[in-house]
């Protein structure tokens, strides 16, 4: 299964406000409607220029904001700096490894481009909201992303 954007990764690994109720719901406890609302919100956050499309530059921005040495790649160490509390490390490491396609502890531009291409199903070099939600829905229904999987008993 291919990967999804870092923005979704971050949103899915934090408690998410259920729309309208103020109740917090962990991603693994969401129903499909709640997950799709989360994907819609994430898409809006990715669409930096508000043109209702996400291009490769916009898609890569959430990754590259963690690229502290400006080498166009994000290491696991850089990625973990976004939420340094010890309780976040396991979740973030799991998510990072999900996105690190070749398992070298680096999310590179080619990996970001590959992820983008997997979501851009019509191959027009732009991700529509419908493409993004369809992709996220597939991750949710197949429990392909670690954030949608139930934690082991005792955690």
The CATH number assigned to the domain holding 90 equals 1.10.238
Phi first, then psi, for residue 127 (nearest 5°) are: -100, 125
**pLDDT of 3:** 39
Has residue 79 been placed in a domain?
yes
Q: From CA 5, how far away is CA 9, in angstroms rounded? A: 6
Q: From CA 68, how far away is CA 80, in angstroms rounded? A: 12
Has residue 140 been placed in a domain?
yes
Has residue 25 been placed in a domain?
no
**pLDDT of 62:** 87
Helices (H), 2-153: 6-13, 32-46, 56-64, 76-80, 86-99, 109-119, 129-142
**pLDDT of 7:** 46
Strands 73-75 and 16-17, how do they pair? unpaired
**pLDDT of 144:** 79
Has residue 22 been placed in a domain?
no
Strands 16-17 and 24-25, how do they pair? antiparallel
Has residue 75 been placed in a domain?
yes
Has residue 87 been placed in a domain?
yes
List the structure tokens of 90: 């396991």
Has residue 56 been placed in a domain?
yes
Q: Determine the structural domain holding residue 72 and report its residue range.
A: 6-16+30-148
Has residue 21 been placed in a domain?
no
CB 54, CB 127: distance < 8 Å: yes
Q: How many structural domains is the chain composed of?
A: 1
Q: Is the pTM of this model over 0.85?
A: no
CB 150, CB 144: distance < 8 Å: no
**pLDDT of 16:** 44
Helices 129-142 and 109-119, interaxial angle, to 10°? 100
Q: Which residues of the chain carry a pLDDT beneath 50? A: 1-19
**pLDDT of 107:** 94
**pLDDT of 74:** 94
């Amino acid at each position: 299964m291919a990967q999804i954007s870092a923005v979704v990764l971050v949103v899915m690994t934090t408690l998410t406000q259920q729309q309208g109720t103020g109740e917090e719901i962990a991603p693994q406890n969401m129903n499909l409607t709640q997950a799709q609302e989360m994907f819609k919100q994430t898409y809006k956050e990715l669409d930096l220029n508000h043109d209702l499309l996400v291009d490769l530059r916009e898609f890569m921005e959430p990754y590259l904001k963690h690229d502290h040495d400006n080498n166009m790649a994000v290491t696991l160490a850089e990625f973990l700096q976004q939420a340094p509390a010890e309780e976040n490390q396991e979740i973030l490491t799991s998510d990072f490894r999900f996105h690190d396609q070749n398992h070298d502890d680096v999310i590179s531009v080619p990996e970001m481009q590959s992820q983008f291409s997997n979501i851009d199903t019509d191959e027009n070099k732009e991700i529509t909201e419908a493409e993004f939600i369809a992709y996220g829905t597939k991750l949710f229904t197949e429990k392909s992303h670690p954030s949608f999987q139930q934690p082991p008993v005792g955690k």
